[in-house]
Amino acid sequence: MIEFEIIADDARQLLDVGTAAFGPRRVHAAMAKEGSRITRQHLRQLDKDRPSALGLASGRRSHFYARFADETREDYSEQHAAVLIGPADFGGDPTRNALAAHLFGTTIVPRRARSLAIPVHPDAYGVAPRTFDLQLMLLGKSKKVAVLAKRPQTTLRRTKTGKFVKTRLDRQMTTPEVMYILVKSATLKEDRSVLPTEMEYAWAGERGVMLIYEQMALRRRGGAS
């Protein structure tokens, strides 16, 4: 889980007045609510702007950012206002939260296997290797590039002598259909653009407090009428 605390020091006077008028818990609740709103909005926009090319080619979408938008919620008390993003069992380990891995950067290593399977074929994106009938192959001049390629389909053909031999159905295919490349680790670079900026969160905090004043003004107008 990612926790992003909302600090609006530039509007300290507004916050102090709001806290005095409405109490710290209500002010922080409004700040956290507005912060979570812009976070969800930001992540859903990213989901539209950054679809995986492989995902589009295969006609499937994993909706990576949209899933984290659905897991965004506010957290507040009398002392703080914050936005919580992702599963609660994150535990501070970036490899356990994919969005945190993108935000802070990390090196991913396999836990239960010897290698990571990186999809390189449109049909492999978002699909586990065990879904396909694959074979391990070593490519390149030095035979050091390990890949998982589709196993060629075969059929039994009877020869003139009466023997049965295996024959490839796709005899015209001379190169293997590679689905995954196997690597020992993968490094993700830090990408702070996956979340709103600190300034945007500060503005969200200010808007949250202003919304309280606006609601109070509307109630007073309604009471006066």
Q: Examine the pLDDT at 110 and tell me if it is beyond 70.
A: yes
- The reported pLDDT for the residue numbered 57 is 44
pLDDT value of residue 17: 74
Confidence category of residue 165, pLDDT binned at 50, 70, 90: low
Question: Which pLDDT score is estimated for 82?
Answer: 93
Q: pLDDT tens for residues 12-32?
A: 666 777 777 788 899 899 999
Q: Backbone phi, then psi, for 114, in 5-degree steps? A: -80, -25
Closest CA to 109 of 94, 126, 95: 95
What is the number of alpha carbons within 13 Å of residue 2 lying toward its C-beta?
24
* Bridge pairing between strands 81-85 and 2-5: antiparallel
Q: Could you give the 3-state DSSP secondary structure of residue 174? A: coil
Structure tokens that stand for 104 in this block: 């802070």
- Which has more pLDDT, 140 or 211? 211
pLDDT at 7: 74
Span 144-160, mean pLDDT? Answer: 75
Whether residue 67 has pLDDT greater than 80: yes
197 pLDDT tier (thresholds 50, 70, 90): very high
Percent of the chain predicted with pLDDT > 90: 22
Query: Is the model's pLDDT at 6 over the cut of 50?
Result: yes
Interacting residues of 134 by C-beta distance below 8 A, sequence separation 6+: 148, 149, 150, 151, 179, 180
C-alpha dihedral over 105, 107, 109, 111, to 10 degrees?
Answer: -50
Question: What is residue 187's DSSP assignment?
Answer: E
Burial (CB < 10 A; 0-12, 13-18, 19+), residue 162, is exposed
Contact in structure between 152 and 173 (CB atoms under 8 Å):
yes
Residue 131: CB atoms within 10 Å: 10
The Cα–Cα gap between 155 and 158 comes to: 10
* pLDDT, the chain, mean: 79
Which stretches within 178-197 are classed as H helix?
none
Between residues 58 and 188, the one the model is more confident about: 188
3-class state of residue 213 by DSSP = helix
Inter-residue contact 208 to 33 (CB < 8 Å): yes
Contact call for residues 119 and 132 (beta carbons, < 8 A):
no
Q: pLDDT category, 49, cuts 50, 70, 90?
A: confident
Interatomic CA distance for residues 47 and 27, integer angstroms: 31
Per-residue pLDDT, 55: 46
Distance of alpha carbon 55 from the chain centroid = 14
Asked if 115 contacts 29 with a C-beta cutoff of 8 angstroms, the reply is no
Lowest mean pLDDT among 87-96, 109-118, 198-207: 87-96
The residue extents of the domains of the chain are: 1-109+188-225, 110-184
